[in-house]
Amino acid sequence: MTQYFTEERSAEAVNGCMGETTDPRIREVMACLVKHLHAFAKEINLTQAEWQVGIDFLTKTGQICSGERQEFILLSDTLGFSMLVDAINNRRPPGATENTVFGPFHVDGAPIRSMGDTISLDGKGESCLYQGRVIDLDGRPVEGARIDVWSDNADGFYDVQQPEFQPKWNNRGIFATGADGSYSFIGIKPVSYPIPDDGPVGQMLNRLGRHPYRPAHMHYLVTAAGFQKLVTHTFVGDDPYLGSDTVFGVKTSLIAPFEPATNGRTQWQSTFDFVLTPG
Find the binder of a copy of itself among 164, 208, 260, 264 (CB under 8 A): 208
Residue 94 binding a copy of itself, by CB under 8 A? no
Residue 93 binding a copy of itself, by CB under 8 A? no
The residue range among 60-68, 149-157, 158-166, 189-197 that interacts with a copy of itself, by the rule CB under 8 A, is 60-68
DSSP-derived letter for residue 199 is S
The residue range among 162-170, 171-179, 208-216, 269-277 that interacts with a copy of itself, by the rule CB under 8 A, is 208-216
Residue 112 binding a copy of itself, by CB under 8 A? no
Give me the least distance between CB of 235 and a copy of itself, in Å please: 10
Residues 132/71, Cβ–Cβ less than 8 Å: no
- Closer CB to a copy of itself, 129 or 255, in the complex: 255
Residue 62 binding a copy of itself, by CB under 8 A? yes
Under 8 Å CB-to-CB from 151, ≥6 apart: which residues?
Answer: 119, 158, 171, 187, 188, 190, 217, 218, 219
Give me the least distance between CB of 176 and a copy of itself, in Å please: 25
Find the binder of a copy of itself among 86, 136, 159, 239 (CB under 8 A): 86
Give me the long-range contacts of 204-209 (CB less than 8 A, separation at least 24).
Answer: 204/57, 204/75, 204/78, 205/78, 205/246
Length of the chain in terms of residues written: 279
Give me the least distance between CB of 241 and a copy of itself, in Å please: 11
Residue 7 binding a copy of itself, by CB under 8 A? yes
Question: Per CB under 8 A, which of residues 213..272 are in contact with a copy of itself?
Answer: 242-246, 248-252
- Closer CB to a copy of itself, 18 or 176, in the complex: 18
Angle, in degrees to the nearest 10, between helices 71-78 and 81-89: 80
Q: Rounded to whole angstroms, how far apart are CA atoms 190 and 238?
A: 12
Q: Rounded to whole angstroms, how far apart are CA atoms 159 and 81?
A: 26
- Provide Rg for the chain, Cα atoms: 22
- Find residue 69's DSSP bridge partners: 66
DSSP codes of every residue in 21-32:
TS-HHHHHHHHH
Residue 107 binding a copy of itself, by CB under 8 A? no
Find the binder of a copy of itself among 34, 137, 176, 261 (CB under 8 A): 34
- Closer CB to a copy of itself, 94 or 243, in the complex: 243
- Closer CB to a copy of itself, 107 or 112, in the complex: 107
Residue 24 binding a copy of itself, by CB under 8 A? no
The residue range among 36-44, 109-117, 153-161, 175-183 that interacts with a copy of itself, by the rule CB under 8 A, is 36-44
Q: Is 234 helix (H, G, I), strand (E, B) or coil?
A: strand
- The residue type of 248 is F
Give CA 18 to chain center in angstroms. Answer: 34
Q: Rounded to whole angstroms, how far apart are CA atoms 135 and 20?
A: 49
Find the binder of a copy of itself among 32, 107, 112, 225 (CB under 8 A): 32
Nearest to 231 by CA among 53, 67, 90: 90
| Number of amino acids touching a copy of itself (CB under 8 A) | 78
